[in-house]
Structure 1
């Protein structure tokens, strides 16, 4: 008798090397949820990161995934999953697990299933956590082997942070992420400081829902929507206020919607960043399909951890290699 498909869910905790700080706070571990779909001797895996900023909790995400168990047993596919769960972390884990399972069952790579060419290595940013100007400058010097650095900013003191990092690494490419910490009265001044430091892109300077002002200012540094952007439904408004969009699988609810979101973003002439939460290589691997022709890639999550999965992704001099088949896809 053929065994029915089975779903299991697990919660894992991965220590972060030295901690991770953004404008909203600090954390010392990455808490991830892993969905596994078993079909005979084949297993499909997907990882997500519940994010309180979007009203998610670990317990809630686990419950949302477990509630899909009967549908998984009955043969739930990716197309029907899109209607079953909203665009969020729980759907991401299941969507990526279904991609992985389909690849293993078909003997074809996930890239081939998505209609893509064989994957190639891509350059990724390395993130410098929010800290004092001196600490961020020192960290930037220590990571000089990465051509592209992403600076976490926090509002007050950002002008000094930008200047200190630029002085420390005069040749590095810089992007920055304010994580909604800037406010309208200091926006022009901080944009000028970013331009003076040679910053190429700034993510989410103003709070989501309070960013209409961006339609009417001179964006002297290109701006990228992150917290303001989730899936395709948000892009029409985003295109009026931003120059780029950060597409994360935990926001789009998986690779399926992420690929569609990227295609729509291109139609709207938005540049694309492919981003991540702090997580393991299992969460990064599906995003590499999206990153192949992205304008900016920020898939350094495993580099911020004390340890990663084995096998994991291989990183070298700012490049991340395609995932081994034993990891995903």
Structure 2
């Protein structure tokens, strides 16, 4: 049955400002791909990321270029030959999963051959700022079991110590977003180890991270910007201990599930992360996150308001998506 393809840009205000080492944002600008056949509808959401050369315009154009193929019956298995990995393919891949599930009368979980989904504990994120502001944010989250803290720039030893003191009972992930250097990484890692940090995410820039194979890892190091898809994994051995799987990088749920299996076979730990988006973007990632060591799917909590229906959060616990949302 032929599909109708719709592409929409949506803007969701952030509660305050979200800041990482390379900049700040006050809204989540997302692209939603909707596929409809007259009876059933499937949706997928993606977040274009300028770090990877993506924009709202370029992602919409990439999806538009797939219109003819989708109308003529292209499937998820066809997508890698039609479009590269990234945000656009993610939106289309997840929309195809969604409409396939609705047409079959089965859930995406069943179609993927997975066990029933369970509630998960997600990290909550503290954005980058001055030490006093960050410490205050940490104290407000001090009862949460897992906190991800954006770091970068200079004076990280002081920042890390203040972070640890502000939430002493929480497990803390530091996300440098490529903001550390070869000159300060050892000092920063030793400060993180002293503070009891459980994971350091992408300390050095992608493509300039060879030093990670030469130095001790007193705290495990997770690849984010250095890990896009399954084919990247062999080159990360010896440099990283874990990888962060994000559907906007892999190009959708199909590749994310494949990447997770391969990562485990190679001995990597797995984190499942997200861009700042709505529950529609988080829902497919919940399937991959069932077998993750660390879950970071708090994107909707950063927004002023999520879409309805959305994922249900109870503190740091997030429940599987309803069929009305996705899947």
The CA deviation string for residues 211-256 of structure 1, in whole angstroms up to 9 with x for no partner, is 0111111111100000011001100011221000000000000000
Task: Report the counterpart of residue 18 of structure 1 in structure 2.
Answer: 16
Aligned mate of 1:262, from 247, 260, 263: 260
Aligned mate of 1:284, from 272, 282, 285: 282
Task: Report the counterpart of residue 143 of structure 2 in structure 1.
Answer: 145
The SS at the match of 2:238 is helix
Preserved contact between residue 211 and residue 241 of structure 1 (Cα < 8 Å): yes
Preserved contact between residue 275 and residue 299 of structure 1 (Cα < 8 Å): yes
Deviates further, 136-145 or 27-36: 136-145
Rounded to whole Å, the distance in 1 between the matches of 2:232 and 2:278 is 27
Rounded to whole Å, the distance in 2 between the matches of 1:191 and 1:150 is 16
Rounded to whole Å, the distance in 1 between the matches of 2:293 and 2:227 is 17
Matches within 5 A, 1:1-329: 4-329=2-327
Preserved contact between residue 16 and residue 306 of structure 1 (Cα < 8 Å): yes
Preserved contact between residue 245 and residue 271 of structure 2 (Cα < 8 Å): yes
Rounded to whole Å, the distance in 1 between the matches of 2:22 and 2:184 is 19
The SS at the match of 1:90 is helix
Preserved contact between residue 119 and residue 289 of structure 1 (Cα < 8 Å): yes
Rounded to whole Å, the distance in 2 between the matches of 1:155 and 1:115 is 44
Preserved contact between residue 230 and residue 259 of structure 2 (Cα < 8 Å): yes
Rounded to whole Å, the distance in 2 between the matches of 1:243 and 1:128 is 23
Rounded to whole Å, the distance in 2 between the matches of 1:41 and 1:138 is 50
The SS at the match of 2:95 is helix
Preserved contact between residue 145 and residue 317 of structure 1 (Cα < 8 Å): no
Rounded to whole Å, the distance in 1 between the matches of 2:124 and 2:36 is 35
The CA deviation string for residues 77-133 of structure 1, in whole angstroms up to 9 with x for no partner, is 000012111010000000000000011111111111111011001110000000111
Q: Structure 1 regions of 5+ residues with no counterpart?
A: none
Rounded to whole Å, the distance in 1 between the matches of 2:31 and 2:8 is 6
The SS at the match of 1:221 is coil
The CA deviation string for residues 31-76 of structure 1, in whole angstroms up to 9 with x for no partner, is 0000000012211000000000001111000000011111111111
The CA deviation string for residues 246-303 of structure 1, in whole angstroms up to 9 with x for no partner, is 0000000000000000000001000000000000000000000000010000000000
User: So what's the TM-score if we normalise by structure 2?
Assistant: 0.99
Rounded to whole Å, the distance in 2 between the matches of 1:202 and 1:69 is 40
Q: Structure 2 regions of 5+ residues with no counterpart?
A: none
Preserved contact between residue 142 and residue 166 of structure 2 (Cα < 8 Å): no
Displaced runs of 4+ in structure 1, greater than 6 A?
none
Tell me the CA shift for residue 4 of structure 1. Answer: 2.5
RMSD of equivalent CA atoms:
0.8
The SS at the match of 1:29 is strand
User: So what's the TM-score if we normalise by structure 1?
Assistant: 0.98
Preserved contact between residue 46 and residue 93 of structure 1 (Cα < 8 Å): yes
